[in-house]
Every structure is written in structure tokens, then in C-alpha cells.
Amino acid sequence: MAHVLVVGAGLAGARVCTLLRAAGFGGRITLVGAEDEPPYDRPPLTKDPDATVDLRAAMGIDVWAAADEVLLATRAAALLPGPDDLGVRLVPAVDGPAAVRADGVGPDVAADAVVVATGAEPVQPVAWAGPGVHTLHTRADAAVLWPMVGPGTRLVVVGGGWVGCEAAATAAARGARVTLLEAADRLLAGRVPAVVGEWVAEHLAAAGVLVRTRAPVEHVEAALGVPGSVPTVRVDRAVVPADQVLVALGVRPATGWLGGSGVLRDETAAVVVDPWGRASRAGVLAVGDAATRWSPRARRHLPGGHWTAAMQDPEALVPALLAWLAADPRTRAAAWRAPAGEAPDPVPYVFSDLGGPMLQVIGDVTAPGAVDWHTDASGFTAAVHDDAGQLLGLCAVGHPRAITRARRLLRSGGQDGARADLAAVVG
């Protein structure tokens, strides 16, 4: 009986488990998760602190109904080859009361294949850690931060990426006095065109957020534990007043446990996979924030990094995994790189709730090209296109139909002759 080991109990890992069962997989599934929380949805942590996030209640995804074994509070420590170099063995580091070996790790878990869905971990300088200084990546993080943010709270957000902007908007809506510090010359740098980052800054300022760009934080010193002590944030040798500090400097793939495994990772530590989620080592697949997927359309690897990737990429991974498991074990290694049906290539899509307006981003909006900007009473559109006028991506607020048209055009690869002018996309 085949055994699939899914490492990571977030949305991507949970989707793999449920899709395996839905596809008729009758083998064994083991799900391993580092947190002691049941699988949950992360986006509401920055947008709606009071939302129901448990995947069973919020999305109807029940990993206990799909997996034979769910091991929470269990971190992956290493990935080793199985007997005779067939299959894999996971060496777990157990945080909870489970039995551990003398070297502090649990018993090896052997499987025919492993799906890496360990997501990402927040970037935070070690010297900044301490009371009053927070990250916002887990349910536990949110449970600590948000009760401390209310009317009059001086919250300093360090970093103007997606998490920083969303949390700043949410905190301002709760009555906090928010200062957002970004080292670059604009918000969401490297994520959206400059004109969209400028719009986001104006929107946050109108919501009461003090936005400071070109403001690299030199140091954050945690509160000393003395009653009345508050964190210290230094920018240009000046102190920015704060009661609480949120460090939102981005994330990195949580794949350090794959060191020495022979699994190829890129410079960001993301597992390099093909369109079906297959990694360089036979029997190892990756999905979600931990992976960077080859896109035939873009002709490059695209980072997982977003909710929609965690939702949709398992739909390509599961059929490829099942086809490989069904092959003769003696020829599996040679068949690992064979095409697994038509290469899937979903159009990248990101959405962000900024305290009212929904910013939607589809396609490759950071690719070199021109930007056509249009604003009206409903919101705006920013279409990115190449020199030939071919649409590369679109950002929009208040124009959902434009996103739908852009998705259709990007899926077609422009073969219908449509161009990226706003009359074709927005009209």
C-alpha cells in the first residue's frame, strides 16, 4: 500500500490530502504540521482578526477525514532517502509530548513520496526580538498582537509589503495610531507597479496611517520588561514613538530541513518544481509558499507565495503524484521527468483587502513594460504590457470585470489578437 507523507498542515498541505482522497487514492496519508493548531486559513490574520479561520468551519476542508494520521506540533528536521534509495524518510523534531529519541527527534517516518508544503517563515532580525515586538504570520501571532492594538495604541509597522499594508489598515480601523515605515521609495515595491504603490500609500494615509517611505529602520529594541516600558524604533538616528511594533519584512520558504537531501532549491530557498509540482529528486514534490513553479507561459519559475497558489497548485500535483505511484517501482525514477499530461499553467492571482477596497492583481505585473493607468469613480486599473502591446498583467480596484477579461486574455496567450489597451481590458 502506497504511503504519501504531506509535510505542512496549512492550506496547501490540507488541499493535497483532500484531493488525494477525492481522486480515489486508497493508500496511507500522513500529515505533519509544525504548529499545534488545527489547519487554518492565514489571510484573515491581517484583515479580520475575529474571523473564523479553522479550515473545517471556514472552507469545509477536514484533514482528519482525509489523512490516516495527523501529527501536529511536529517539525521536519531532515529528509533522507528510503531503503535502496527508494521512497523517502522524514526525521521529525517533536515539540509536543510525543516520544523522542535520545538525540531529541522523533522516530523516522517512511513513505513512498513526500509533499513539501511547509510554507514560509517571517523574516525578523534576531536582535529585534522581545516584548512588544511582533510578527504576524501564525494564528498564535495574531492572538498576541491584536488584543494589544486598540484606540490610541501607537503601532509602528516595519515593512510596506502585503502584510504590512493590510495590518496597518486593520489597525487604523481599530483606532490605533499607525506609522508605516518602508525602506524603499514606495509601498509594495517589487510587487506592483510604482503607480499602484503610490495609490496604496494615499489610501492608507486617508485611513489615518502615517506612511513614511525611504525610511530604513536601523534598529528595534524590545521593551525591557519594566512597567511602562515600550519598544524603541530608530530611523535616521531618531526615535519613532511606539507602544507595539509589527515587523513585516517579508517571509522566506521554510525549507531549511531539506539541506543535504539533494532536493534543488533556488536562492530564496524555495523548492524548484516543474508545472506539476515535481522536484529534482524522484518522489519529492512541493507546493505553496515553499515552492517555485515553472510556468510555460512566463518561461520562468514563479514563486508560490500566495493564497491562490496554495489552493490551485495541488490540483496539478495530485494527478501527477498518483500517476507516478501507479507506475512500476522499478521504473519510477526514470519516469519522474516524463510529462504528466498537459502542463498546467494557472495565471498568477493575488488579492489584498486594504480596509475597504479589494486590490486584485493578475498576471506578471512586475515584468518590464509600460503601464496604462485609468482611474474613475469606481477605482482604478493599471495594465502592464510589453512593447508589442501584449498584456502581461493587471492591477485593479473596483473593476472585477477587468480582472475577468484580463484572466481570459492571459490564459489565451494573446492568441485572439486582443491587445492590452484599456478599451480591450476594461471596456
Mind listing the pLDDT tens digit for each residue in 376-403?
999 999 999 888 888 889 999 999 999 9
Same domain as 62, residue 36: yes
342 within domain boundaries: no
Same domain as 128, residue 113: no
**Grid cell digits, residue 104:** 531529541
Closest CA to 317 of 60, 116, 93: 116
Kindly report the length of the chain.
Answer: 427
Q: Which pLDDT does position 338 carry in this prediction?
A: 81
Same domain as 384, residue 286: no
Same domain as 214, residue 72: no
Same domain as 9, residue 90: yes
Domain boundary, last residue among 247, 276, 297: 247
pLDDT tier, 97 (very low <50, low <70, confident <90, very high otherwise): very low
Q: Which pLDDT does position 424 carry in this prediction?
A: 66
Same domain as 136, residue 113: no
First vs last C-alpha separation in the chain: 55
List, for residues 25-80, the tens digit of each pLDDT value: 999 999 999 998 899 898 888 988 788 888 888 888 999 999 999 999 888 888 88
Which of 188-197, 224-233, 254-263 bottoms out in mean pLDDT, i.e. has the lowest? 224-233
Domain boundary, last residue among 184, 217, 247: 247
Q: Which tops the pLDDT comparison, 412 or 133? A: 133
Same domain as 262, residue 189: no
Instruction: Count Cβ atoms below 10 Å from residue 176 Cβ, excluding itself.
Output: 23
Q: Which pLDDT does position 88 carry in this prediction?
A: 67
Q: Which tops the pLDDT comparison, 153 or 99? A: 153
At 174, which amino acid appears? R
11 within domain boundaries: yes
- The rounded distance, in Å, linking the Cα atoms of 118 and 114 is 11
Q: Is the pTM of this model over 0.85?
A: yes
Question: Could you tell me whether strands 251-253 and 120-122 are parallel, antiparallel, or unpaired per DSSP bridges?
Answer: antiparallel
343 within domain boundaries: no
Residue 102 scores a pLDDT above 70: no
- The rounded distance, in Å, linking the Cα atoms of 118 and 133 is 24
Which of 22-31, 78-87, 265-274, 283-292 bottoms out in mean pLDDT, i.e. has the lowest? 78-87
* DSSP secondary structure code for residue 45 in this structure: H
Domain boundary, last residue among 247, 281, 298: 247
pLDDT tier, 415 (very low <50, low <70, confident <90, very high otherwise): very low
Q: Residue for cell digits 529534482?
A: 280
pLDDT tier, 87 (very low <50, low <70, confident <90, very high otherwise): low
Same domain as 116, residue 256: yes
What is the pLDDT averaged over residues 116-139? 92
351 within domain boundaries: no
352 within domain boundaries: no
267 within domain boundaries: yes
Same domain as 415, residue 363: yes
CATH code, domain carrying 389: 3.30.390.30
Residue 195 scores a pLDDT above 90: yes
Average pLDDT, the chain: 87
Distance of CA 109 to the CA centre of its chain: 26
Q: Which pLDDT does position 106 carry in this prediction?
A: 55
Same domain as 10, residue 104: yes
List, for residues 145-181, the tens digit of each pLDDT value: 999 999 999 999 999 999 999 999 999 999 999 999 9
Closest CA to 11 of 321, 287, 291: 287
> Of 45-54, 105-114, 414-423, which has the strongest mean pLDDT?
45-54
Residue 306 scores a pLDDT above 90: no
b/e map 136-167, b = 16+ CB within 10 Å: bbbbeebeebbeebeeebbbbbbbbbbbbbbb
153 within domain boundaries: yes
Per the structure, the complete domain to which residue 381 belongs is given by 357-425
List, for residues 208-256, the tens digit of each pLDDT value: 999 999 999 999 998 776 666 788 899 988 999 999 999 999 999 999 9
Residue 101 scores a pLDDT above 50: no
Q: Which pLDDT does position 1 carry in this prediction?
A: 82
344 within domain boundaries: no
> Of 48-52, 150-154, 369-373, 420-424, which has the strongest mean pLDDT?
150-154
pLDDT tier, 143 (very low <50, low <70, confident <90, very high otherwise): very high
Number of domains the chain contains: 3
Q: Which pLDDT does position 92 carry in this prediction?
A: 65
Same domain as 277, residue 381: no
Q: Which pLDDT does position 99 carry in this prediction?
A: 38
CATH code, domain carrying 160: 3.50.50.60
Same domain as 12, residue 102: yes
Q: Which pLDDT does position 77 carry in this prediction?
A: 83
> Of 205-209, 223-227, 328-332, which has the strongest mean pLDDT?
205-209
> Of 21-30, 110-119, 307-316, which has the strongest mean pLDDT?
21-30
Q: Which pLDDT does position 142 carry in this prediction?
A: 94
- All residues at 6 or more sequence positions from 193 whose CB lies less than 8 Å from its CB, including other chains: 365, 366, 371, 382, 384, 395
